[in-house]
Amino acid sequence: MGGDHGPEVVLPGAELALERRPDIRFALYGDEETINRLLENYPRLKAASSVHHCTISVKMDEKPSQALRNGRYHSSMWRAIEAVKTGEADVAVSAGNTGALMAMSRFCLRTMANIERPAIAGIWPTLKGESIVLDMGATIGADAQQLIDYAILGGAMARALFGIKKPSVGLLNIGVEEVKGLEEVRTAARLLREADLASLTYAGFVEGDDLGKGTVDVVVTEGFSGNIALKAAEGTAKQIGQYLRSAMRRTWRTRLGYILAKSAFDMLREKMDPSKVNGGVFLGLNGIVIKSHGGTDAEGFASAVELAYDMVRNELLEKISQDMVSYQRGGFQDRIDNEKAESQKAGDQ
């Protein structure tokens, strides 16, 4: 029921994903009448789906606390997440209210053992292909331990998504000399280097312009700067698109040039198409939840479903669990606690 267009986009999106991943089975949560009426247009999807009537759907502008109060146990959003908890579903996909989806996911699925806070991981198109960036704004701020958790979560996702054995992970930082980054970013860097994890290669600090270059497979940052980087990049892409369109309309020569080079512009549009990389992955929970962009079209929603499918098929959760266990065996939590105690002592003196 979520997103700007509800089932009108979700159902054709699911149909598209089903064409490309024919073994998906859908459990659809929402208003039965609306869903059944629309499903008549998609006989193939209908055959692959069960419909579960829900009387409540979370509104796009509801605050997470409100959504939890009004929609816990009964809303379509809650029941889709709950299906992951009970094992009826392998993964939940929603185009609904991000804050509500995260709040319900945390409440219903709980965070994994030894992970304090979940993160939203996004896929960033780069000159080399794609990278994973997290946290995209699940929470604001992160201490060294949380940044290390994000590194492990993102590393596991890169193994599941890209099939890389030992993905490279960078910490987002700024390059001005005097202030080589936040204390917590520096601490996380030192500990990641010392930990020398089997599951990932710590590649050092990266800066904002490394995102587009694809310098590393996984970029780790806290949610405030991650969200701002994402939106600044999206805004710049739109801005350039608009410049280009108005420049191309200027004279008959540029218009003719545009017609001749249309295939190149189509390619550029394809590269910059946000629906191609649609889907924020909630990481760190006992279950996988994928957030599709609310304003996406059927093609975009299909991308989110296929991302969900791939995360399940490539055993994302199992990979995370393995990586967490091997990390904890290294005793790094103790080391961080010691560091904290020591730096406090130093501060007191």
Interacting positions 57-86 with its own copies (CB under 8 A): 63-65
Residues in 205-234 that interact with its own copies by CB under 8 A:
207-213, 221, 223-225, 227-234
Residue 121 pairs with which residues in a beta bridge?
134, 281
Residue among 208 and 330 whose Cβ is closer to its own copies: 208
**Among the listed residues 47, 113, 174, 341, the single contact to its own copies using CB under 8 A:** 174
**Among the listed residues 41, 239, 333, 344, the single contact to its own copies using CB under 8 A:** 239
Residues in 109-128 that interact with its own copies by CB under 8 A:
126-127
Which residues, 6+ apart, have CB-to-CB distance to 121 below 8 Å? 132, 133, 134, 135, 136, 153, 154, 157, 280, 281, 283
Binding-site size, its own copies (CB under 8 A) = 73
Separation of alpha carbons 41 and 12, rounded Å: 9
**Among the listed residues 115, 144, 182, 192, the single contact to its own copies using CB under 8 A:** 182
Q: Which two tokens stand for residue 80?
A: 């889709």
Listed ranges 70-78, 139-147, 162-170, 295-303: which one lies at the site for its own copies (CB under 8 A): 139-147
Residue 184 has a CB neighbour count (10 Å cut-off) of 17
- Regarding 253 and contact with its own copies (CB under 8 A), the answer is yes
Q: Which two tokens stand for residue 40?
A: 């008549």
Residues in 283-342 that interact with its own copies by CB under 8 A:
none
Residue among 49 and 98 whose Cβ is closer to its own copies: 98
Question: CB of 162: closest distance to its own copies in angstroms?
Answer: 19
- Regarding 256 and contact with its own copies (CB under 8 A), the answer is yes
Task: Determine contact, residues 144/188, Cβ cutoff 8 Å.
Answer: yes
Q: Which two tokens stand for residue 197?
A: 């994890």
**Among the listed residues 23, 73, 260, 347, the single contact to its own copies using CB under 8 A:** 260
Separation of alpha carbons 296 and 187, rounded Å: 38
Residue among 268 and 312 whose Cβ is closer to its own copies: 268
3-class secondary-structure state, position 171: strand
Question: CB of 182: closest distance to its own copies in angstroms?
Answer: 6
Q: Which two tokens stand for residue 30?
A: 């929402």
**Among the listed residues 56, 84, 103, 320, the single contact to its own copies using CB under 8 A:** 103
Separation of alpha carbons 289 and 308, rounded Å: 8
Residue 134 pairs with which residues in a beta bridge?
121, 220
